[in-house]
Amino acid sequence: MNTTIIHISDLHFHTYPQYFREWKSKRILGAANLLARRNRQFPLERAKRLVKKIQEMKWDHLVISGDLTQLALERGFSRARETLEPLLQDPERVTIVPGNHDRYVRQPAGIDLFSQYFGEFFGSEEVHLRKLKGNWVIVGWDSAHPNDWLSAAGTVRRSTLQATEKLLQSFPKDTRFIIVNHYPLSFPEGWKVDRYHELYNLVPVRNWILDRPQIRIYLHGHIHANWQHHLLRKTGPDLALINSAASSSKLYDGQLSSFHQLNLEDDHIRVSSILLN
C-alpha cells in the first residue's frame, strides 16, 4: 500500500517587532539578522509559490518540521497560518512540530503562540501521533525551547523518549515509525557540529533511535542545507535522515532541492528531491 509524504521546513515567515514589549532580549539580534539578510532570503512570494506547488502535487500527508516564523511574533504566526491555510484543510493529513524560532523568547505565562495557531497539527499530548497507510506511523517531537542570546540549541526531554517508547511498544512489531523533529541527528561528512546550535543531548538521542530498528525515517530541518543520507545500524534496517530546511528560501548556487517527497510502499522508501524554481 503506497503512501506519499511531502516534507517541508524552516519557512521563516517574518514581521518586525512593533511594540516595546516585543523587543525582548534575543529578538534584538534576530531582528538585526532579519534586516540584514533573512527578509530578502525568505520573500513572501516564494512561500506562496511553495504552497501552490504542493497544492498541485498528489500526497497523503504533509510534514512541516519547525521554524514557521522568524521571531515568534504573533503577526508572524498569523501570516504563516494564512499563507499555509490551503494545505491545512484536514488536520489528520498534516503534522507540524515547532522549531527554535517558534520558541524564540519566553512568552508570558499561559501563552503559547505555536499551539494557538498550529496546535491542532501537533496535539496536546507529550508526542504527536498520526497513523498512515501501510503500517507506517508518524511520531512528532517538540524539542525547541527559548535559549540565551548566542544559543539556538534544543533538547529532547526524557519524558518525550519515555512517551515514544510507550507508543512503540503499543503497536504491532511490524509497524514502521517516522520521527519528526526540528533538529538534525547527524551531518554530512566534514560538517562542523556546533553544540550551541544543535541538540544539547544529540548523541544519546541518536543512540536511542538507532537502538530501535522499527524507527525507519527521521525528518528534520534547522540547518539550511537540504540533504538526505543514512545511518547504519548494527542490526536491522538503516535509518533514513531527511532535511528539508529553508523550503521557501531563494535558491543558492548549486542547490538541488527545496523539499522532499517520500513514497512509502510496504517496506520500500523512495525519496525524491523537489526544487522550487
pLDDT recorded at residue 250: 95
CA distances from 56 to 49, 50, 271 (A): 11, 10, 18
Residue from 228, 271, 247, 251 nearest 47 by CA: 247
pLDDT recorded at residue 70: 95
pLDDT recorded at residue 42: 95
Q: Residue for cell digits 517527497?
A: 261
pLDDT digits (tens, 9 = 90+) for 152-174: 999 999 999 999 999 999 999 99
pLDDT recorded at residue 26: 84
**Inter-residue contact 87 to 209 (CB < 8 Å):** no
CA distances from 92 to 63, 174, 214 (A): 11, 23, 23
**3-state SS class at 154:** strand
Report residue 177: phi and psi, to 5°.
Answer: -110, 150
Q: What are the chain's domains?
A: 2-274 (3.60.21.10)
Spatial separation of the C-alpha atoms in residues 52 and 50, rounded to whole Å: 5
Which strand (E) or helix (H) includes residue 78?
helix 74-84
Spatial separation of the C-alpha atoms in residues 205 and 165, rounded to whole Å: 12
Residue from 168, 78, 172 nearest 116 by CA: 78
pTM for the model stands at 0.96
One-letter identity of residue 54:
I
Give the mean model confidence (pLDDT) for residues 100-116: 89
pLDDT digits (tens, 9 = 90+) for 37-74: 888 999 999 999 999 999 999 999 999 999 999 999 99
C-alpha cell at 184: 538534525
Task: Between 1 and 233, name the one with better pLDDT.
Answer: 233
Query: According to DSSP H, which parts of 171-212 are helical?
Result: 202-210
pLDDT, mean over the chain: 94
pLDDT beyond 70 at 20? no
Banded model confidence at residue 102, pLDDT cuts 50, 70, 90: very high
Q: How far from the centroid of its chain's Cα atoms is residue 211's Cα? A: 22
